[in-house]
Amino acid sequence: MTHCSKQAVTVNTTNRCNLRCEYCMASSGSEQDNPITIELAFAKKGIFDAIKGVPTGIKATTLRFFSHGEPTQEMDIIKECVEYARSLNPTIRLELQTNGLFQTTEDTEWIAKNFTAVWFSLDGPKEVNDKYRPDPDGYGRTSEIEENLKFVQKYTFAGIRSTIVEETMDKQDLLVDYYHNLGVKNICLNPLIKQIVRNESGNTEVTKDDIMLFSQYFLKAYKRGDAIGVTVLSSLTFNFDEKTAVACRSCLPMPQLNPDSSVSSVM
């Protein structure tokens, strides 16, 4: 299926996060000192319109929880949104993008038994992931995240979304083996998007070479996955499985409901 064919309404629950990823905008002090959470009434209105196809006639068949923070920091909102969506469409597909560090064992079990698909953000084994994705006190939590991943995949689909950092750029095939050893069959490898800066002359500097280097080693990882029965994707390759004239969902009526009560397009 092409990426643009996923008819999903996305609820971005909060910008609050329980990790302080080195490269993430949500890790900044300004974000975490003043976190915002989506209003339930606003989220329900957006879910209703999307599932009922108001006003476009195109009905969402998936409810996604995403965030530039960690969506499971607001489990009560997630549960209420799920209950409401199921009242409108009992067969609604449920998808979660998470860092995998859940607040309680009860949350872990609820997620495992209710979601259709759970994507874990994990950048590699603990020596890499702990470095780039520590908690607010600077501690690595990779071992806990791995345990949660193993539990969730006993009950439902669990995939990996991995940001490729400097240490793993030329080791993407080894990452495939690492995730495969955790029991994962679906992996999405994405290049780290570096900050665009202005040089002394006022011009912007963009690191184009990194993308080409990423692509070179991604191909090796893709072939490794193919050899061991693992699907390896990238956000750069989502639409390459069938013909389409649409690159993403950003121009389609599939809303993203944000914590500040704005509605944006879904990338």
What pLDDT digit, counting tens, does each position of 116-159 carry? 999 999 999 999 999 999 999 999 999 999 999 999 999 999 99
From CA 179, how far away is CA 170, in angstroms rounded? 16
**Which pTM value belongs to this model?**
0.92
Contact assessment for residue 159 and residue 117, using Cβ atoms and an 8 Å cutoff: yes
Angstrom CA distances, 130 to 122, 160, 169, stand at 10, 16, 17
Question: In the beta sheet, which residues pair with residue 12?
Answer: 66
Secondary structure class of 180 (helix, strand, coil): helix
From CA 90, how far away is CA 82, in angstroms rounded? 10
Q: Tell me, what DSSP letter sits at residue 6? A: -
Angstrom CA distances, 79 to 72, 152, 162, stand at 10, 17, 26
Q: Convert the pLDDT of each residue in 60-83 to its tens digit.
A: 999 999 988 999 999 999 999 999
From CA 24, how far away is CA 210, in angstroms rounded? 18
CA atoms within 13 A on the CB side of 137: 3
